[in-house]
Structure 1
């Protein structure tokens, strides 16, 4: 399956201080965009108005990245810009949940 499909990398950040959500979104845009093999990218704060019983409320920022291949995703994980992002922002994270799947 990995040979033919893109890899969707979805990350949900719960912050120590929810007021820092926009700063994390800005950091995502600065450090995590324009990587080789990135087919789609978006990052944003959770919409407070999405409050149906099925909506997960346990995160503040969502990152959505779709890579052309698993290899492109794997290269992204070890790229200097991604590693710098993690180092700069990890102190503000209470929890990080990652969901990877083929699409």
Structure 2
């Protein structure tokens, strides 16, 4: 079964420069990991203002892994830890949603 890892970042500095820095770091450190089936990272769409739309984040990371083992290896990988070390100072809040997916 595939495994989805979705992370919603709320930033201290919400500027274009900082949002793009986070996205670029994701491409550099996270996207190349083995076992990724699908990788996406981008900014919240401000025009989506329906009552069900969460407005409390700035950047979303959505990765689908081939399986849970690939996710678990990613979590302890050096590139993942480098991404965190480089970017975490600008994180006000990080919410993670993990699930098995078909």
TM-score normalized by the length of structure 1: 0.94
Could you tell me which residue of structure 2 aligns to residue 12 of structure 1?
8
Q: After TM superposition, what 4+ stretches of structure 1 lie above 3 angstroms from structure 2? A: none
Consecutive unaligned residues in structure 2, runs of 5 or more: none
Instruction: Give the whole-Å Cα distance in 1 for the aligned partners of 2:23 and 2:59.
Output: 7
Aligned partners of 2:93 and 2:75: how far apart in 1?
A: 18
* Aligned counterparts, 1:60-79, within 5 A: 60-79=58-77
Size of the aligned set, in residue pairs, is 99
* Structure 1, unpaired ranges of 5+: none
Q: Indicate the residue corresponding to 1:33 in structure 2.
A: 31
Deviation, 1:64, is: 0.4
